[in-house]
Structure 1
Amino acid sequence: MTASPDVTSTDAAGDPLYAALSATWRAIQARHPEVPDVMVTLGSGTLGQRGAVRLGHFAENRWQRGDDGPELHELFIGGEGLRAGPAGILATLLHEAAHGLATTRGLTDTSNRGYYHNKRYKALAEELGLAVDEAGGRGWQDTSLEPGTERAYAEQLARLAEVLPIYRHAEEQPPKRNRSRNRIPAICGCPDPVRAWAARGTLAEERLTCRVCGQPLRPENPEDTETEDDQA
């Protein structure tokens, strides 16, 4: 006699979620064929981070299909960010799809280890239907859905709503170590960036600019920027 499946198990909850995320990505690809295939992964968006939540990331060629098969890009979705609901998840998927589009087209859309989003990224994100706002030293990183985009993906939003709410609890963060509030290391947006030490307030007001790339200097270490959300 076969036992009945445990409908409260992790697999039972996770399978439809993965299916909904994958279906939404395929819908994005249908509208924008240059968005590449990905391996969808879920995990902690707070592990190892201080006071930040990583909503998602796109990482080029992180997976291998068999010993001789093609490489696959990684689409990571932070479990804590699922609390944002269907619209928030779609915004994260489109944010990462813009990075995928940059990879397909051979464009450099970020610097500082993917932390700073440049104007190329802004143009790609807008092409996919996102509103893009500047986030100080993080560049054009803050993205949200345009009203028309939400209407265009109504079917996918409804499917995501069927499998939610489900989300991951954030990791408990260790207390921040005492750090000088004065000068911190800063860099510009050049491929070989200029490095300098500057006061936090000076960097926040973007008063220091590189004469080569024209971009304001920003903290070299993301942990030196007080931020609640981090999408890469």
Structure 2
Amino acid sequence: MSTTPPVLAAELALAWSDIQRHHPELPDLAAPESLIGESSSACGAQLSFERLLHEAVHGIAAARGVRDTSRAGRYHNRRFLAIAEELGLEHLEEPHPSSGFSLVVMNAATRRRYRRTAERLQRALSAHLAATAADTKRSFRGPAARHGSSGGGVRVKAVCDCGRNVRVVPSVLAQAPIVCGACNKPFRIAGAAEPVTAAA
């Protein structure tokens, strides 16, 4: 697993600290690398300061013991929206049928408050994306690195009975069942009738 570039990690930490300055109950950001790369589409796939605020809403909800999502974290409920509004975010449309109030955006006052922090973070993100693109073009990283899995191959969506999902290489899932920690049922390839199991 690659680590977050030091400059980007530092900018993420600074941006998070700026949010904490206005909202002291927000816990520390333990793992900046968790915000880079794949993410839940319900929370926003692209890393930005606005998404950082979105994640801060989840952080404050966790600190307060508030359940702000349902449906395995996909549906953002009105409790999420209430905390989001405290952080200067607003939801301009009707709730989405599957993700609820997840598509929050900064209001004008919040954009002004965090303008310099957001600009610094965006510069760091742009530099990271440029470096990543250059690395991809200039170097051969092998099939495992290209597909993001130690087993190589293209990952597909696997689901469990409670609705949670993971991305996994089918050959890895075929070696042994991957069991969901929430419902204790094995994940199966989306659309498949039975869980994928190891060959006899």
- Is the shorter-chain TM-score for this pair beyond 0.5, marking a shared fold? yes
1:113 and 1:126 map into 2 onto residues whose CA distance is 23
- Pair 1:157 & 2:118 matched: yes
2:42 and 2:8 map into 1 onto residues whose CA distance is 15
1:81 and 1:42 map into 2 onto residues whose CA distance is 13
1:91 and 1:23 map into 2 onto residues whose CA distance is 14
- Taking structure 2 as the reference length, the TM-score comes to 0.57
Per-residue deviation at 1:37? 1.2
Q: What letter corresponds to residue 12 of structure 2 in structure 1?
A: L
1:111 and 1:29 map into 2 onto residues whose CA distance is 26
Residues 1-232 of structure 1: matches in 2 within 5 Å? Answer: 14-42=5-33, 45-46=37-38, 54=40, 81-82=46-47, 89-132=48-91, 133=93, 134-165=95-126, 166-167=128-129, 174=154
Q: What letter corresponds to residue 22 of structure 1 in structure 2?
A: A
- Could you give the per-residue CA deviations for residues 14-68 of structure 1, whole angstroms, max 9, x where no partner exists? 111111110000000000111111213325644xxxxxx53697xxxxxxxxxxx
In terms of fraction of residues, the more strand-rich structure is 1
2:25 and 2:155 map into 1 onto residues whose CA distance is 43
Per-residue deviation at 1:96? 0.8
Identify unmatched segments of 5+ residues in structure 2. Answer: 134-145, 164-189, 192-200
Identify unmatched segments of 5+ residues in structure 1. Answer: 1-9, 47-52, 58-77, 83-88, 178-184, 188-222, 225-232
Q: What letter corresponds to residue 76 of structure 2 in structure 1?
A: H
Larger relative contact order (C-alpha < 8 A, sep ≥ 6)?
1
Cross-structure match for 1:205: none
Q: What letter corresponds to residue 15 of structure 1 in structure 2?
A: P
- Taking structure 1 as the reference length, the TM-score comes to 0.50
* 3-state SS in 2 of match to 1:138: coil
> What is the RMSD computed on CA atoms of the aligned residues?
3.6
Cross-structure match for 1:63: none
Report the count of equivalent residues: 140
Percent identical pairs in the alignment equals 33
Give the 4+ runs in structure 1 shifted more than 6 A.
Answer: none
Per-residue deviation at 1:112? 1.6
* 3-state SS in 2 of match to 1:34: coil
1:158 and 1:37 map into 2 onto residues whose CA distance is 21
Which deviates the most, 91-100 or 158-167? 158-167
* 3-state SS in 2 of match to 1:142: coil
